[in-house]
C-alpha cells in the first residue's frame, strides 16, 4: 500500500484529495495548522492520519516530517498547501509578498528537503505540485499569487531534470478556479492607502471576484471534486507514463493553457537536445 503525504490536507483540494485517495486504498497522512478543527476530526474519523505543521516554520516542518517518517516512508508527496491573494499588485508590501512566497514556494522547499533523501535512497517516489492555471498565465489583482505559482512551476521543472535519474517523478497539476474555501482566505494588501490614480481600478478587484464567483455558480462542471479525481487518476497512471503537466478546468481557460504547455514541452525538448542534455528529461525506471 503506497503512503501519500498531503500538505494543507484539511481544506479545499487537500481534504477532497485525502478522502479520494483513502477511498482508493492509499495510506494517507496530511499536514494541518489546525489539528483540532472539525475538518481535521472528520479526516481522522476516516482513517487519515494528521500531523500538526506550520509550513512557514522550518523547525515545525522538520518536527512534523520526522513524525511522519518515523511511522512510514513517503511514496507520494502532494504539495497542496497554499494561499491566494486579491488586490492591486503595487499595494502589496514586500512583507506581503514574502508571506505568499513563504507558503507557496519556500514551504515546498522545506518539505522537499526532508522527504527527498529517503526517495533518493530508494530510487523511487512521486511528487505532485498543485499549481494553478495562473502559474502559466496572469490575471489582474492576483499579482503575488501569479508570481509564486510561476516560481513553483520553475522549481518543479528543475527538480524533474535533476532527479529523473533517481527514478523520482515530478508532476504539476494546474487547476482553474473552483468553488472552495480558498477564495474566502485570500490575502489582501497590507497597504490600505490606495493612490487616487488607482481609485477606479481598485474597486475592480472585488468586482472581478464577484463576477468569477457568479460564473462558478452557473457552471455545474467546475466542481472541486474533479481536481481530486484528476490527482487520483494521475497517481494510477504507470510510472514513466504520467504527463508532466495536467490541467483541470471546465471554463475554457484550460484549452489555451494546454496548447501553451504542449508548445513548451516541444521547445524544452529541442533546447535540451541541442545541448545534448535530453536524457535529463527522461525518468529512470
Q: Nearest to residue 16, comparing CAs of 183, 248, 232?
A: 232
Regions in the chain scoring below 50 on pLDDT: none
**CATH code of domain 3-281:** 3.40.50.720
CB within 8 Å of 184: residues ≥ 6 apart:
none
Q: What's the per-residue H, E or C state across the chain? A: CCEEEECCCCCHHHHHHHHHHHHCCCEEEEEECCCCCHHHHHHHHCCCEEEECCCCCHHHHHHHHHHHHHHCCCCEEEECCCCCECCCHHHCCHHHHHHHHHHHHHHHHHHHHHHHHHHHHHCCEEEEEECCHHHCCCCCCCHHHHHHHHHHHHHHHHHHHHHHHHCEEEEEEEECCCCCHHHHHCECCCCCCCCHHHHHHHHHHHHHHHHHHHHHHCCCCCCCHHHHHHHHHHHHCCCCCCCCEEEECCCCHHHHHHHHHHHHHHHHHHHHHHCCCHHHHCCCC
**Dihedral sign, Cα of residue 50, residue 99, residue 127, residue 22:** positive
Matching residue, cell 535540451: 272
Say what the pLDDT of residue 182 is.
66
Say what the pLDDT of residue 238 is.
96
Say what the pLDDT of residue 185 is.
84
Q: Encode pLDDT of 91-143 as tens digits.
A: 999 999 999 999 999 999 999 999 999 999 999 999 999 999 999 999 999 99
Say what the pLDDT of residue 199 is.
83
Query: What residue spans define the domains of the chain?
Result: 3-281
CA angle 44, 85, 141 (to 5 degrees): 150
Amino acid at each position: 500500500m503506497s503512503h501519500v503525504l498531503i500538505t494543507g490536507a484539511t481544506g479545499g483540494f487537500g481534504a477532497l484529495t485525502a478522502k479520494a485517495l483513502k477511498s482508493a486504498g492509499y495510506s494517507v497522512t496530511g499536514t494541518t495548522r489546525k489539528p483540532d478543527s472539525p475538518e481535521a476530526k472528520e479526516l481522522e474519523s476516516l482513517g487519515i492520519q494528521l500531523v500538526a505543521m506550520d509550513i512557514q516554520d522550518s523547525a515545525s516542518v522538520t518536527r512534523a516530517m520526522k513524525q511522519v517518517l518515523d511511522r512510514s516512508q513517503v511514496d507520494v508527496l502532494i504539495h497542496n498547501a497554499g494561499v491566494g491573494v486579491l488586490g492591486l499588485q503595487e499595494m502589496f508590501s514586500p512583507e506581503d509578498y514574502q508571506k505568499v512566497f513563504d507558503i507557496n514556494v519556500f514551504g515546498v522547499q522545506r518539505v522537499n528537503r526532508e522527504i527527498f533523501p529517503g526517495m533518493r535512497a530508494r530510487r523511487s517516489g512521486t511528487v505532485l505540485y498543485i499549481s494553478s492555471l495562473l502559474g502559466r498565465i496572469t490575471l489582474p489583482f492576483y499579482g503575488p499569487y501569479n508570481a509564486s505559482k510561476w516560481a513553483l512551476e520553475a522549481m518543479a521543472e528543475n527538480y524533474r531534470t535533476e532527479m529523473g535519474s533517481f527514478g523520482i517523478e515530478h508532476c504539476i497539476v494546474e487547476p482553474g478556479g473552483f468553488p472552495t474555501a480558498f477564495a474566502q482566505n485570500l490575502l489582501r494588501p497590507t497597504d490600505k492607502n490606495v493612490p487616487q490614480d488607482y481609485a477606479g481600478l481598485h474597486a475592480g478587484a472585488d468586482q472581478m471576484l464577484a463576477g468569477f464567483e457568479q460564473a462558478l455558480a452557473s457552471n455545474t462542471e467546475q466542481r472541486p471534486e474533479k481536481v481530486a479525481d484528476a490527482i487520483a487518476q494521475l497517481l494510477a497512471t504507470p510510472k514513466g507514463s504520467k504527463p508532466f503537466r495536467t490541467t483541470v478546468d471546465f471554463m475554457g481557460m484550460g484549452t489555451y493553457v494546454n496548447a501553451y504547455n504542449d508548445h513548451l514541452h516541444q521547445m524544452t525538448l529541442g533546447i535540451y537536445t541541442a545541448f545534448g542534455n535530453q536524457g535529463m528529461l527522461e525518468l529512470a525506471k
